[in-house]
């Protein structure tokens, strides 16, 4: 039974329900009516002219970015695609007024499938990304992505395959890191690489951590968390949240 269907039933029963993106709840979701949230969310939609209906994930990301805004350090996103989440963040924070650089890393030509492990292939990661390619989900050219971000200053678009491009990020410190590659090996490499430069109190958001179908991503992140001694909060949105405390 889909979240949408269950949502319809709950609505018929008079409940104010949030039912999107694998998450169904009758808990408060006032942010959906918040004008600042909607403006940011719609800027995300504009980046690729598509609405993924993942408002609660964006709500979490905007909160994380708002915390990171007041800390020393730049912002980094690994896995940008057409720029939904980073555009929403820049809109929300009023990026041009901040003295920060946003590093945006992606192939801008779809997933680097050669980095998927045999186990990930078996678990359907490659099929999922093929379905994405078939429906035009992935950015095909960096030109359109540059066009999307041209209204903002201090944006560094880093095109290429992670982990090779990680060294091109010359930020001394980082207060916000978003990782969304749908592939464990470069995700682990990215977090391990940037970890020493994450500011105390800095926020790291993992898009696939608890998402349905991404168990191997969670297991790989849990192993890194044990090695680096940090804790990951598993969120009902499918995201994982880390705050660097030591
Ligand atoms: C789910 S999408 C990211 C969505 C994005 N965060 C947004 O807000 O719309 C995953 C992205 O990761 C990129 N990607 C996957 N593996 C990569 C790698 N090893 N190096 C660089 N980019 C990669 C893909 O090209 C794709 O754009």
Three-state DSSP class for residue 137: coil
Query: In DSSP terms, which residues pair with 23 in a beta bridge?
Result: 20
Rounded to the nearest 5 degrees, what angle is found at the Cα of 160, between the Cα atoms of 165 and 223? Answer: 55
Contact status, residue 171 vs residue 74, Cβ threshold 8 Å: yes
How many residues can be counted in the chain? Answer: 246
Q: Is the CB of 169 under 6 A from ligand 1?
A: no
What is the reported pLDDT for 29? 96
What is the reported pLDDT for 139? 95
What is the reported pLDDT for 117? 95
Calpha distance 204→182 (Å, rounded) = 16
What are the domain boundaries of the chain? 1-33, 34-243
8-state DSSP, 97: G
Query: For residue 81, which atom of ligand 1 is closest to its CA?
Result: 27
180: CB partners within 8 A, 6+ apart: 77, 78, 79, 85, 206, 207, 208
Distance of CA 145 to the CA centre of its chain: 16
What CATH number labels 34-243?
A: 3.40.50.150
What is the reported pLDDT for 7? 75
Q: How many angstroms is it from 27 CA to the middle of ligand 1?
A: 31
Best residue among 81, 105, 140, 193 to mutate for probing ligand 1's pocket (most ligand atoms within 8 Å of CB) is: 81
Question: With a cut of 50, which residues of the chain have pLDDT below it?
Answer: none
The distance in angstroms from the start CA to the end CA of the chain is: 43
What is the reported pLDDT for 184? 98
Calpha distance 136→215 (Å, rounded) = 25
Calpha distance 154→99 (Å, rounded) = 8
What is the reported pLDDT for 1? 57
Calpha distance 166→56 (Å, rounded) = 29
What is the reported pLDDT for 214? 97
Beta strands 198-206 and 174-179 are parallel
Best residue among 75, 76, 107, 211 to mutate for probing ligand 1's pocket (most ligand atoms within 8 Å of CB) is: 107
What is the reported pLDDT for 222? 98
Which residue CA neighbors atom 9 of ligand 1 most closely?
84
What is the reported pLDDT for 5? 79
Give the tens place of pLDDT for each residue, 33-62: 999 999 999 999 999 999 999 999 999 999
Contact status, residue 116 vs residue 220, Cβ threshold 8 Å: no
Give the tens place of pLDDT for each residue, 131-155: 999 998 999 899 999 999 999 999 9
């Amino acid at each position: 039974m889909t979240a949408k269907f269950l949502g319809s039933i709950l609505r018929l029963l008079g409940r104010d329900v949030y039912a999107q993106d694998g998450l169904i709840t009758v808990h408060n979701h006032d942010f959906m009516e918040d004008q600042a949230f909607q403006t940011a969310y719609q800027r995300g939609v504009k980046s690729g002219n598509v609405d993924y209906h993942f408002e609660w994930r964006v709500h979490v990301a905007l909160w994380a970015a708002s915390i990171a805004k007041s800390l020393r350090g730049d912002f980094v996103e690994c896995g940008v695609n057409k720029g939904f989440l980073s555009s929403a963040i820049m809109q929300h924070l009023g990026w041009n007024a901040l003295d920060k650089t946003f590093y945006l890393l992606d192939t801008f030509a779809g997933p680097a499938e050669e980095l998927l492990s045999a186990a990930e292939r078996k678990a359907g990661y490659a099929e999922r990304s093929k379905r994405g390619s078939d429906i035009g989900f992935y950015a095909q050219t960096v030109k359109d992505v540059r066009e999307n971000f041209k209204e903002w200053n201090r944006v560094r678009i880093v095109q290429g395959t992670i982990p090779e491009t990680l060294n091109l990020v010359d930020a001394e410190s980082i207060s916000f890191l978003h990782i969304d590659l749908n592939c464990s090996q470069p995700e682990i490499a990215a977090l391990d690489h940037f970890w020493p430069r994450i500011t105390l109190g800095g926020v790291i958001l993992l898009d696939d951590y608890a998402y349905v179908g991404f168990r191997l991503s969670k297991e790989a992140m849990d192993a890194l968390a044990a090695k680096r001694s940090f804790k990951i909060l598993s969120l009902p949105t499918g995201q994982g949240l880390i705050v660097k405390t030591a």
